[in-house]
């Protein structure tokens, strides 16, 4: 994943469907937060 990310432009200015499908396994939405699970196994929790 690190090598793939290094190949990407440093700033994303628009939604990239291919990039999202390559990186993200699952997004779970809760009432007060959501979690993003990447295919690498890393999980990030985003609070409201």
Query: Which stretches of the chain score pLDDT less than 70?
Result: 1
- Residue 48 has a pLDDT of 79
How far is Cα 25 from Cα 38, in angstroms, rounded to an integer? 5
**Res 17: pLDDT:** 92
The pLDDT of residue 41: 93
Residue 37: predicted pLDDT: 95
In the prediction, which pLDDT does 39 show? Answer: 93
Q: Count of CB atoms within 10 A of residue 45's CB?
A: 10
Amino acid 1: pLDDT: 65
Domain count across the chain: 1
The range of the structural domain enclosing residue 18 comes to 2-47
pTM of the model: 0.67
- What are residue 24's DSSP bridge partners? 38
41 backbone φψ class: left, alpha, beta (φ>0; ψ -120 to 50): left
């Amino acid at each position: 994943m690190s090598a793939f990310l290094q190949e990407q432009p440093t700033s994303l200015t628009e939604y990239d469907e291919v990039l999202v499908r390559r990186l993200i396994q699952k997004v779970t939405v809760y009432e007060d937060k959501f979690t993003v699970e990447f295919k690498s196994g890393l999980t990030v929790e985003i609070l409201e």
